[in-house]
Amino acid sequence: MSGQDITSDMLERRKPLDLLFPLEGGASRQVDEDSNTQVTALDRFRAAVNLTKDAVKAVSLTAMEALREGAALIGIVGEQNELIDPFVHLDAPIWARDPPIELMRLAYAYCEELTMREAGNFYHSFKYLPDEQRQAMCAVYAFCRRADDIADGDWQDHFPGSQGEMDPEAVAYREKLESLQNKDTILQEDMYLQKITQLFFFRKKLSTCYTEVSSTDPVFLALKDTVTRYGIPRSVFDDLITGMEEDLYNNRYRTFDELYLYCYRVASVVGLMCIEIYGYDDPRAQKYAESWGIFMQLTNVLRDIGEDIQRDRVYLPLDELESNGIGESELGGNVVLNTTWEPYVHNYAKRARTYLEEAKKLLPLLPRRSRYSPAAMIAFYDKILRQIERQQGDVFTKRVKLNKLQKLSLAAAVYLRHRFLPGFLNPLWTGFSKLGILPDV
């Protein structure tokens, strides 16, 4: 199923809830024809970004052989315990030919080290996968992490040979993008130019995963091997970069429909990447993977309200806040004094759990050896959502997160159930999960 098919089909899956404080969560099935055409043109334009062998400088064979010979001595961790790109000194964006296996191992090691450092929740959820799948998941995570760090952080991505913000290709891309979507940036001009340029070259690197050339970026070197092994379509990666670009133009969402599309682009597509690595035969797995991403991102939105408002971002749908008598100015923490806030949070969580219930349906469709991985991620986020509710929606006093013991115990319990527990004991597990003793996944 293509990314475009998934996007058009997802409108059928949103569930309107009859709530005490109505959130109007059901999405309209009506799509403006002009808007739909515009999005399609944007998607096609973005997907047309490619890095061609004839247009760029390649690593010389001499340099490649020197790297190969010294691969065992090249480190990815510096003296200050910082993560080091093993190929950062190369002044060319592509390899002269397929890089040798020694360099591929370095690329995967870089991605795994990045994942262990940056993603405690996620790494605990797939560290017990078979080696090949674990490495592939780390490559996917590294791609997502770097894209997010460009759009929402201070990561300075490196593209050898480019002329930076004034690169003619980057300028042409930016101007065309702005004309198609007819939006102004929400960022200061210098920061906007820096980020949109880096995301453009990030797309260039992505294109190498689907052509005969290979990037000298270790993330994309490992990712190319991953997408080749598991047949992950480019559309899901392009959609994620699109979600990151949207962060440069939008910092408010009027309706749940708008928020849903954002959640799809930055989270559901990750689920669609992951299931290709896990393996599945039933096409319903794609639908449930989409819901998995929606549940996790809705939880992120609720957990991060305080941090987001400090960055002048509000992801909660504005029409829902207004209908519940909640002012945007209250989101700095005073909102917990608003009598409608706790019921709003409760009903928001109730809607998020409709996607959680669909996400759980993904697990039986995956091979037994890999279903523990998404189950652990679901368990982590379910725990976070329950904790937010127990705190009556107070996500401002301190960040809601799991400690290391909680992560390890949840991961171990889920691993035990999905890898070793006999099927006839599932009712017993369910009984304990209802008591809160075991994770309900």
137 plus 201 within the same structural domain: yes
Task: Enumerate residues 6+ apart whose C-beta is below 8 A from 273.
Answer: 140, 232, 236, 237
The residues pairing with 94 across neighbouring beta strands, listed in sequence order, are: 58, 215
Q: How confident is the model at residue 435 (pLDDT cuts 50, 70, 90)?
A: low
Q: Where is pLDDT greater, at 119 or 274?
A: 274
State the CATH number of the domain containing residue 268.
1.10.600.10
Q: Quote the domain boundaries for residue 316.
A: 1-27+251-393
Task: Enumerate residues 6+ apart whose C-beta is below 8 A from 24.
Answer: 16, 255, 256, 319, 320, 323
Rounded distance between C-alpha atoms, residue 67 and residue 189, angstroms: 39
Rounded distance between C-alpha atoms, residue 4 and residue 9, angstroms: 9
The Cβ of residue 283 has, within 10 Å, a number of other Cβ atoms equal to 9
The residues pairing with 314 across neighbouring beta strands, listed in sequence order, are: 252
Q: Supply the pLDDT for residue 22.
A: 35
The domain boundary residue, chosen from 196, 216, 245? 245
- 21-74 pLDDT tens trace: 333 333 333 334 344 445 578 888 999 999 988 889 999 988 988 898 888 888
**Least-confidence region, from 6-20, 74-88, 194-208:** 6-20
The domain boundary residue, chosen from 205, 226, 245? 245
The residues pairing with 291 across neighbouring beta strands, listed in sequence order, are: none
Rounded distance between C-alpha atoms, residue 414 and residue 73, angstroms: 38
Rounded distance between C-alpha atoms, residue 390 and residue 370, angstroms: 31
Instruction: Say how many domains are in the chain.
Output: 2
Residue 114: strand, helix, or coil = helix
Domain membership flag for residue 353? yes
312 plus 362 within the same structural domain: yes
222 plus 264 within the same structural domain: no
Domain membership flag for residue 11? yes
Query: Please, what is the angle between helix 101-118 and helix 131-152, to 10°?
Result: 60
Rounded distance between C-alpha atoms, residue 299 and residue 285, angstroms: 21
Q: Where is pLDDT greater, at 185 or 71?
A: 185
Token readout for 95 is: 């390899």
Residue entry with tokens 């790297």? 67
102 plus 228 within the same structural domain: yes
- 352-398 pLDDT tens trace: 999 999 999 999 999 998 999 999 999 999 999 999 999 999 999 88
163 plus 146 within the same structural domain: yes
Are the CB atoms for 290 and 359 separated by under 8 Å?
no
Rounded distance between C-alpha atoms, residue 223 and residue 140, angstroms: 6
Instruction: Read off the amino acid at residue 415.
Output: Y
67 plus 3 within the same structural domain: no
Q: Does residue 2 carry a pLDDT above 80?
A: no
pTM of the model: 0.88
Q: Supply the pLDDT for residue 14.
A: 44
Q: What percent of the chain has pLDDT over 70?
A: 90
